[in-house]
Structures are given as structure tokens and as C-alpha cells.
Chain A
Amino acid sequence: MDDAKKDSLYRLLGILGLVLLLTATYLVHKDRDIAVPSGKHDHADPSQHGHDIFAKPLESKEKELVPSGELRGGSRIVQYEAFKFGFSPDPLVVKSGENIILKVKSRDAAHGMMIPEIDFSADIPQGKEKEVSFKAPIKPGSYPVFCSVFCGSGHGEMKGTLVVLLAGDESHE
């Protein structure tokens, strides 16, 4: 086989591999749309993605947690702080499907919060409060929260948890 044919075969193999990987990715994350910050697509609202969400099942003591913040006008409003190297409150406890409004601020440096599973990401600037919102996943469980802005030596370990309780279970309120 001459070099030109070999070259074409390798290219074909590469293209087939890429198509297969993208297809597999699509099937695993079926219905999960890519978040394009165009304004038409609410990046913070997973209900607009309608994708399967992976959550760690709640442990029994997590099920007893009281939701953070307060309910006002149909939304749960929570003061949420980032600091080196953690979040407060941690865990952030909400109920499934709730509209969440976080009043975020940083105690020390620029941070970010990212909940990859629901495609939520927001910067948390230093020194001023900022309001961000998202819709809590329908699926109860615990979701990891990461810092998304490099903030110092402990950045890699700056993690928090979003605990989503089953809505309708009024024993928490």
C-alpha cells in the first residue's frame, strides 16, 4: 500500500474515532444541550437543558438537613459566601425544583462557584455582593460545588456541596 493510501486510511480512522466518541458522549449525556451564553439559553437553568442529572444519593443525616436561607416570593434566597478555601453555608441545602437566588460575595479574594452537573457557573468578585440564580435540580441528591477561579494554594481543594432535598417533604421547614 502506498503512503498516500496509508495517509487516507489514518485520516479515516481518526474521523471515525472522533464521530464514535462524540456519538458515545451524546448518548451518555442524551438531551444535554451545550450551554451557549447567548441570552436565548439560560445557562443557569437546568430545566432548559432537560438532561439526565447525576447526583450522589442523600445519606440519612443529609435528609434531615434544614433548607438554607428563606423562601420569599416563590424563590429561595440564600446569602452564600466564598472564602479561602470553602463556601458558606456548606452544604447549601435547597429543595428540588426550587428557584434559587444566591446573594454571593467573597470574604477575601476573587472566587467562582461551579456546579458542573447542572451547568451552573458564576464568578464571585471580591468586595461586592452579586445576585445569581438557578433552578434546583428535580433529582434529590448531593452535587459537588467547585471554585472556578484560581484563588490560591488550596484552590484545588476548595469544594462545597449542594444538597437537594425532595420537595413536598415539609418536615424540614
Chain B
Amino acid sequence: MSKTSSPFVFLKNPKVQVILLLFALCLFAVFKGNIEPLPAVPMILLAVLTAVFAELAVFGKVSASSIQSSIISGLIVGTLIAPGTDMKIVWFASVAAIASKKLFQAENAKHIFNPAAFGLAVMLPLFGSRINWWGFSSPYIVIAAGGFILYRMNRLSMVFSYILFRMLGAIVTGAAGFGLEALELPNLFFAFIMLIEPKTSPSPRTHQWIFGGLVGILSAASAHLLPSAEGDLLALLAMNFLRACRGR
């Protein structure tokens, strides 16, 4: 007897799930009234389309999975830049994010840096702009949906490690709130969506704990020493680089 596949089988794909999660957060931000749809929606569309076209321009014929990755990168870029920011900056950040996958590759041909983090960390200071994390509209959506996705991907250890060491780092550096800032929405979003990118972070559980923990410590140190820098992104890029240097 032949087995018929469900029409919703694509929903089991973790990348599709992340796309839906990001989409839900954007919708929630707009409908909750935090964000005016007019600058935000075109910005998201531009970021996503630019990332997809950049993927094609840089890599040629690519798999559906690569297109899904570029959509995720575009959505992250679009939800971090403040609505109303010059659209050219959005375009450049998306292009830089995808181009980094080609420009910085490890020996195994995997990209070294988290694309969205790279695009934003490099382009925004260059253009004198800042990120705003506006798309991170609901901790409940992030934790519930993000937790479900990461549980299935066996990547929750990295999130726990990051949050734990981010909290410890904040306590050691004397930050207000007894380290609870690690549980705030941008940090949660960063942990559940950006930190765990499979190609730029380790899979073995022990390595996940080390990687997440070091990102947490670096991030807390950055928040203490350079409060106006995007500490999470810089910490992630630094660990991406160290991981590539160690060949893991």
C-alpha cells in the first residue's frame, strides 16, 4: 500500500517553521500597534527580496533550502532595523549578509559568520545607523514556537547555556536586575533564532554548551564595557570566527 504524504509535510521543515515564526512576530508587532505598517512592511519585503536575489546572484542555481535560508536572513535583517531607516541601508545589509556566505567560508565550504548578524554588524555602523529589534514583539511566541523548533533540532542546550552565562555575566559585571536582562525579548530572540543557526554553530551537545556559554559571557562583557554596541551580534560573530579557526 502506498503511503500518501500530507500536504502539510513542508511544515515539518525547521527552516519553514522559523520563517513562519518570524512572520508571526512581524504580524504581531504590526497588529499590536507597536509599529506602523507603512514603513515596516515594505522594509521587510525589501530585505527578504534582496536576500533572495543576492542568493541567486552570488550562488547561481541553488536549492530550495538555500532560498529558505536567505528568506530567514532577510526577515531577521528586516526585523532588526528600525522602520523608517533609509531603505538603501536595508538593501546593503541584506546583500552583505548573503555575500558573507561566499566571502568567508571555512575549509568545509560552510560559511563562517551568521549571515544576518554579519550584514547588520558591518553595514549599520558603516552607515551610521542602529538596530532596533522592533520585530521581537512577543516573548511567548518566541519561547513557545522557538522552543518547539529547537527541541526538534536538538539545539536547546545552546540557548540554555547562553541564557545562563549571560545572566551570570550580568551579575558579575554588576548589571541592574540580577541578570534577568538575559531573559528580555531581544536576548530571547537572539538566542532562539540567531545563535542557533546550524551552519555557524556546533551540533554536539558539549560544544553547544561551550559555544552558547562563551557567547553569553562575551555578550555580558560587551554590555558592560560598550553598552551602546550590539554586544550580542559582536559576541556571536567573534565565536563564529573562533569556531572556524578551530575547524569545528
Contact = CB atoms under 8 A, between A and B. Distances in A.
Interface of A: 3, 6-8, 10-11, 13-18, 21-22, 25-26, 28-29, 32, 34-37, 43, 54, 109-110, 112, 114, 116-117, 119, 121, 123, 125-126, 144, 146-150, 152-153, 155-157, 159
Interface in B89-112: 89-91, 95
Contacts of A11: 56-58, 60
A25 B87 contact: yes
B201 interface: no
Interface of B: 29, 34, 36, 39, 46, 49-50, 52-58, 60-62, 82-91, 95, 126-134, 136-137, 176-177, 181, 184-186, 227-228, 230
B56 A17 contact: yes
Contacts of A148: 82, 130-132
A15 B56 CA distance: 8
Given A36-B128, A110-B228, A152-B181, A14 B86 contact: no
A117 to B, nearest CB: 5
Contact of B82 (A123, A126, A146): A146
A34 B53 contact: no
A13 B56 contact: yes
A48 to B, nearest CB: 13
Contacts of A36: 126-128
B184 A29 contact: no
Given A153-B185, A156-B137, A157-B34, A21 B50 contact: yes
B130 A35 contact: no
B89 A34 contact: yes
A26 B84 contact: no
B227 A110 contact: yes
A109 B224 CA distance: 11
Contacts of A22: 88, 91
A14 B87 contact: no
Given A11-B57, A146-B132, 10 more contacts: A6-B60, A14-B54, A17-B53, A22-B88, A29-B88, A36-B126, A54-B39, A110-B227, A116-B39, A144-B83
